[in-house]
Amino acid sequence: MSTRQDWGARGEQHERSNGNLEREEHVDRHDGDSVVDIATVAQNAQRAQDTAIEQRAEGKPEKPMHALASMLGPAFVAAVAYVDPGNVAANLTSGARYGYLLVWVLVLANCMSVLIQYQASKLGIVTGKSLPQILGDRLGNGGRFLFFAQAEVIAIATDLAEVIGGAIALNLLFNLPLLLGGVVIGAVSTVLLFFQGGATHKIFERLVIGLLLVITFGFIAGLFIDPPNPLKVAEGLIPRFTDGASVLMATSMLGATVMPHAIYLHSTLVNDHYAQRKHKPSIKEMLHGSRIDVVWALALAGTVNICLLVLAANSLHGMTGTDTIEGAQHAIAQVLGPTVGTIFSIGLLASSLSSTSVGTYAGSEIMKGLLHWNVPMWACRITTLVPALFVLALSNNPTEALVIGQVILSIGIPFAIIPLMSYTHNRDLMGKYVDSTAKHVLCIAVVVVIVLLNVLLIALTFMGKA
């Protein structure tokens, strides 16, 4: 009995199999690729469904523009370094001395900064680590400490310019003594840093971007009162020099293009930006968003720098006493009115607060990546603030300290950009996102130009010709 049942079951199974084969053959006769197509369509539908679920879980809007907006921010924070008081002083001096002659220098400098900052963000996105972390993983104990030592000196020199600029702004606005103004800048910037990291990191980004907008308005307001001649500005786009002094000024402007701490920090910011999210966009999406983020942010910072030079060229050209920030502000107030002078001082204050906060943030990340020390942010703030306060207390001309700070800053630039360009061309680190040979050659050319210009600037400074 059981044998007949087994044979019956096998017969039914055989008939079902034959039926399935006949149906498959029928399908194949009508369309040989339909089975594959159906499977492919099903897989694509499943992927689309999974993507939609992930987007809803992450709270991502469906519109691509909104999704892109959620990726913006890291480059704007890093861009603050390009509109710090040191750059303000250099651009005003250039415009007051040479008029529109060196506008092209700032345009070229800004193009190089776009490339460099994107490389920093790319390294962070692809590897998931910051440049200091990668250096810390690859250097020995002695190398890590020496690299940290030079980076910390650069951070102190950078903060020197930023705190001094803020102290000068408070002196211009409220007649505060420079030392007291430096203390106020240190205290307020420390409060800003409390929002850095964790669940409040987005707030920190928005505060810094808000200050960047204040900087933009503060530094370009004078152009609305006394608009420049567009033809003269266009003439400034033609590369040329008038004498050896203008060559030296162009060299210092190009040499100060790169901010080492902005490179270190940007490679961190692109990951901190998503730290509190359950899911990150894909690497390809993040790189796309970062490209737009960098272009927009550096375009804004570059515009501010160019507007400062144009403002000085249009309103201060030929005037004496504009070699200091205070002198330039007084000249602006004299020519364009006290209201514009006050707005300029507010922009200078915002520049100081934002750039010193970002600089301290960078110093903390450098220490964490190279030495693996999680030092409290307030301790990092004190480390870079005390030297600046010391200079404010003893120096009769703080603007001279800005010049010295720029020279020290130049020394640290090769230590940032050479490893950066080397790592983005390392296939073991970057995988399929490694730089192409053509792009690597371009990067090397930019590195060589910047390093040679900085070496020249340092040599001329020590020779007393800068």
pLDDT in tens, 357-389: 998 889 889 999 999 888 888 888 888 899 889
Contact in structure between 172 and 329 (CB atoms under 8 Å): yes
pLDDT for residue 66? 55
**Dihedral Cα 330, 333, 334, 338, nearest 10 deg:** -130
- Residue 456: the pLDDT is 80
Neighbours of 369 (CB within 10 A): 25
What pLDDT is stored for residue 255 in this prediction? 62
- pLDDT attached to residue 290: 94
N residues, the chain? 466
Q: What is the pLDDT of residue 43?
A: 55
Task: Please state, in angstroms and rounded to a whole number, the distance separating the CA atoms of residues 306 and 367.
Answer: 34
> Token digits for 130?
């910051």
Instruction: Identify which of 366, 113, 153 has the alpha carbon closest to the alpha carbon of residue 121.
Output: 113
In this prediction, residue 465 carries a pLDDT of 65
Q: How many helices (H) and strands (E) does the chain have?
A: 20, 0
Nearest to 250 by CA among 258, 261, 242, 260: 242
Query: Rounded distance, CA 196 to CA 385, Å?
Result: 18
Nearest Cα neighbor of 113 from 135, 87, 139, 150 is 87
Give CA 149 to chain center in angstroms: 22
d(Cα 354, Cα 348) in Å, to the nearest integer?
10
Q: Using an 8 Å Cβ cutoff, are 443 and 421 in contact? A: yes
131, 416 contact by CB (below 8 A): yes
Selection from 267, 347, 356, 364 nearest residue 311 by Cα: 347
Structure-derived torsion over alpha carbons of residues 354, 356, 359, 363, reported in degrees to the nearest 10? -140
pLDDT value for 231: 95
First to last CA, the chain: 109
What is the dihedral sign for C-alpha 124, 130, 132, 136?
negative
Cβ proximity of 360 and 377 under 8 Å: yes
- What's CA 67's distance to the chain center, in Å? 20
Give the position of tokens 């600037």. 457
pLDDT in tens, the chain (466 residues): 444 444 444 444 444 444 444 444 444 444 444 444 444 544 555 555 444 434 434 444 444 555 666 778 899 999 998 998 888 888 888 899 999 999 999 999 999 999 999 999 999 999 999 999 999 999 999 999 999 999 888 888 888 888 999 999 999 999 999 999 999 999 999 898 888 777 788 888 889 999 999 999 999 999 999 999 999 999 999 999 888 778 878 877 776 667 888 999 999 999 888 876 667 788 999 999 999 999 999 999 999 999 999 999 999 998 887 778 888 899 999 999 999 999 999 999 999 999 999 988 898 899 999 998 888 888 888 888 998 899 888 877 776 777 677 677 778 888 999 999 999 999 999 999 999 999 999 999 999 988 888 788 777 777 776 5
Sign of the CA dihedral with 399 first, then 400, 406, and 408 last = negative
User: What is the C-alpha to C-alpha distance for residues 207 and 28, in angstroms, rounded to an integer?
Assistant: 63
Q: Are 251 and 451 in contact (CB under 8 A)?
A: no
